[in-house]
Amino acid sequence: MLGEKTIYVLSDSVGETAELVVKAGLSQFNGVDYQISRIPYVEDKETIDEALQMAKDTSGIISFTLVDPKLRKYIKEQAEKLNIEAVDIMGPTMEAMERAFQKPPRLEAGLVHKLDEDYFKRVEAIEFAVKYDDGRDPRGIARADIILIGVSRTSKTPLSQYLALKRIKVANVPIVPEVDPPEELFEVDPKKCIGLSIKPEKLNEIRKERLKALGLKDEATYANMDRIHQELDYFNQIVDKIGCNVIDVSNKAVEETASIILHMLHRK
């Protein structure tokens, strides 16, 4: 029996349309073990190459909705070279319509979502926050509306998600003394970066509670005051180097911090 198959869904927008088509097809195959990995906002050949390599490594399938004919042609050619099954969901339909209407398509990604622009902007922002959470992909720094930086347990992730509900694309980057921040952080407009500072005592309290929740002893290095001071000193060095705004989140709820950030954005 075949093992689990991964279907990589590539889109130059959110990717909902492609995933729905894939799921409709999968519904016709009983007992198939699969997972869907959606890759939204595909705008370049490098992202396509990464997806193709993952499909090659896992014997996966590629399914895509790309309106750019050059990118569609590229993915077909490369998939054929690598002997990967690649399904063009959008292309044949658009080509047939072009022949029937005798009119070229607009070739703009995500037009279907403009039926409810506000809702889909929110969806895009949420997916963006997930994709570029915790510094996992530094490419998000240049694409983000806001970049949050801070040490562990300064509410970077919940704050990113909360702002995403306001249709703001947020990337967040953890600051750790042993890890150099991505170079991209020092190349963007400092006004896009916001440092989240916190008082050492408050961070110590939060981290101790976190360790207890994980069933660990609260005297671990993670909650050690010397370690906390070391991390916060390094954080201060980084924000000084960037020259960005800093918000003290010690006694603020996520909603309160978000309100301050929104005010900054509107003022800008």
Question: How far apart, in Å, are the Cα atoms of 229 and each of 125, 183, 238, 249, 252?
Answer: 33, 24, 14, 16, 20
Q: What is the pLDDT of residues 61-119, one digit of tens each?
A: 999 999 888 999 999 999 999 999 999 998 888 889 889 989 888 777 656 555 566 77
Rg (CA), the chain: 22
In the annotated binding site for ADP, the residues are 150-157
Task: For the chain, give every residue range classified as CATH 3.40.50.2300.
Answer: 5-109
Task: Output b/e per residue, 162-187; b: 16+ Cβ within 10 A.
Answer: bbbeebbbbbbbbbeeeeebbebbee
In the annotated binding site, the residues are 150-157
Helix (H, G, I), strand (E, B) or coil at 175: coil
Least confident of 29-33, 72-76, 100-104, 125-129: 29-33
Q: What is the pLDDT of residues 207-218, one digit of tens each?
A: 999 999 988 888
- The CATH number corresponding to 5-109 among 3.30.300.20, 3.30.2010.10, 3.90.1300.10, 3.40.50.2300 equals 3.40.50.2300
* Element (DSSP H or E) covering residue 37: strand 34-39
Degrees, nearest 5: CA angle 89-95-96: 100
Question: How far apart, in Å, are the Cα atoms of 128 and each of 49, 120, 149, 181, 240?
Answer: 20, 12, 16, 20, 27
Helix (H, G, I), strand (E, B) or coil at 50: helix
Cα–Cα distance measured from residue 213 to residue 211, given in angstroms and rounded to the nearest whole number: 5
DSSP alpha helix (H) spans, the chain? 16-26, 45-58, 69-81, 91-101, 117-131, 139-143, 156-164, 200-213, 225-242, 254-267
Q: What is the residue-averaged pLDDT of the chain?
A: 91
Helix (H, G, I), strand (E, B) or coil at 149: strand
Q: Measuring CA to CA, which residue among 121, 173, 123 is closest to residue 19?
A: 123
How much is the pLDDT for 1?
Answer: 43
Cα–Cα distance measured from residue 88 to residue 11, given in angstroms and rounded to the nearest whole number: 11
CATH fold group of domain 116-267: Rossmann fold (3.40.50)
How much is the pLDDT for 108?
Answer: 72
